Homo-oligomer: A and B are copies of this chain.
Amino acid sequence: MAYYVTALEELIDKFRTLPNIGAKTAQRLAFAVLKMSNAEAEGFAAALLRAKKDIHFCPVCQNLTDKDLCSICSNPKRDRSIICVVEGPSDVLAIEKTGKFNGLYHVLHGTISPMENVGPGDIKLKELIARLSDDAVKELIIATNPTVDGDTTAMYISRILKELDIVASRLAFGIPIGGDLEYSDSPTLSQALENRRVL
């Protein structure tokens, strides 16, 4: 039974297709749209269409871009000898924010996940392997997440690298800065112990 008017129910349904948006939240978001001014609502719709139309994958690093080549790949100041491999575009953002990395990226758009039937062919691994044939590449930082799937993917990539003259490294895992030993989960604490550093 339709309790709301059709146009509103349709909008609620559209919001529900977004990840982690349930019935209640979708309803709240749809009401917020109704409270917008006409100009705001039109701006929202236009932004949606423009993002969808303008944005595509960078042919080199597979990050999102609206140009032929993304702003990092096309930057002559970036170090082309080191590639940081990440799961998604938001990981690029997180690492860029540190300001500590001046190499290039490679965005996998996922991880190998046997449980969810995602194989090496389903993520942007071919594109990574193609890049490794460039002799300029000396090191690969595998920055996948410390999860089962992230570890599987890191392992898979490091095996490919064994046959090539490229150093593989992975991000350090341990107690987060500002964290508290008491509240650290034991896998993190084990990693922190294992990877302890001499002072």
Contacts and interface: CB of A to CB of B under 8 A. Distances in A.
Interface in A1-58: 3-8, 10-11, 13-14, 17-21, 25, 27-34, 36, 38, 40-55
A54 B5 CA distance: 9
Interface string A64-108: 111100110000000000000000111011001100000000000
Q: State the oligomeric state as a number of copies.
A: 2
A48 to B, nearest CB: 5
Contacts of A10: 47, 50-51
A118 to B, nearest CB: 14
Contacts of A5: 54-55, 64-67, 70-71
Interface residue tally of chain A, by bracket? 35 or more
A50 B19 contact: no
A41 B8 CA distance: 17
A48 B44 contact: yes
Nearest to A27: B90
A66 B10 CA distance: 13
Given A11-B50, A14-B43, 19 more contacts: A5-B67, A5-B71, A7-B55, A8-B66, A13-B47, A14-B44, A17-B36, A17-B40, A18-B33, A19-B32, A30-B51, A33-B52, A34-B51, A34-B55, A34-B64, A36-B52, A41-B48, A41-B52, A45-B48
Nearest to A11: B51
Contacts of A64: 4-5, 8, 34
A34 B53 CA distance: 9
Contacts of A52: 33-34, 36, 38, 41-42
Given A32-B19, A34-B64, A90-B31, A7 B47 contact: yes
25 contacts: A3-B96, A5-B65, A5-B71, A7-B50, A7-B54, A7-B55, A11-B48, A14-B43, A14-B47, A14-B48, A17-B36, A17-B44, A19-B32, A27-B90, A31-B88, A31-B89, A31-B90, A33-B51, A33-B52, A34-B51, A34-B52, A34-B64, A41-B48, A45-B46, A45-B49
